[in-house]
Amino acid sequence: MNIESLFGLSGRRALITGSGQGIGFELARGLAEAGAEVIINDIDPARLDKAEKKLSDGGATVHKLGFDVTNAEMVAEKIDAFEADVGPIDILVNNAGMQYRSQLEDFPVDKFDFLMKLNVNSVFYVGKAVAKHMIERKAGKIVNICSVQAALARPSIAPYTGSKGAVANLTKGMATDWAKYGLQINGLAPGYFKTELTSALVADEEFTSWLSNRTPAGRWGDVEELVGACVFLSSNASTFVNGHVLYVDGGITVSL
């Protein structure tokens, strides 16, 4: 196999949840540049329209699929309809998620419940709905976006840490159950990246100084640096990689 056949995604269709902005949008752009048709998803129609225009203007073939990833019935309905009306979803990137900061003893119960539903339940809901069709075809790629917080903890984000640990282990469970059908299910775990959602932390000189000193690479990551790992896990280059969590973190998880 040559490099293009190993890493190229031409002829494949990729669904990226939560891709109206941030990491999800950048992964959609990167998969499109590798040749895939991309299916972007967001609960906010305006954000979805804006993302579609940006990607289309860049030459991508884009489909919009707006649904609430925390609604299991809606997820199954939308996925089944897309498969019937448009065609197969060959790649799924489970990216939708949220963060909420509070000291654990004061963490609101409703925020905890919603964080878990968005960060963990959605991976199961969307993964199950898409995998049903992949299993019939005996082929498919699922990439679950984890985090360095699957392995590390910081003050004020204990529930988020718990949710990402759950996603990492759910990834292993998906691989254990579905690898026999020809699917590869892996995790991609970003470290600290500059996005719209982390802009306040990037601007915080004290935090950025701490992060730079704590990370062997000495800096924040740029979202473009996640694309190669996602393309690898979505391509023929990873046909015998299953249940793995790939950390893209500048070394923060390997250094004290």
Q: What are the residue numbers of the active site?
A: 160
**Six-digit token string for 234:** 């979505």
Rounded to the nearest angstrom, the gap between the alpha carbon of residue 10 and the centroid of all alpha carbons in its chain is 20
Determine which helix (DSSP H) or strand (DSSP E) holds 232, and give its type and residue range: helix 227-234
Q: How far is Cα 42 from Cα 69, in angstroms, rounded to an integer? A: 9
Q: How far is Cα 93 from Cα 232, in angstroms, rounded to an integer? A: 12
**Six-digit token string for 50:** 């804006």
Determine which helix (DSSP H) or strand (DSSP E) holds 247, and give its type and residue range: strand 245-248
Who's near 194: CB < 8 A, 6+ residues apart?
202, 220, 221, 222, 223
Who's near 155: CB < 8 A, 6+ residues apart?
103
3-class SS at 193?
Answer: strand
| HSE-up (13 A, CA, CB side) for residue 156 | 4
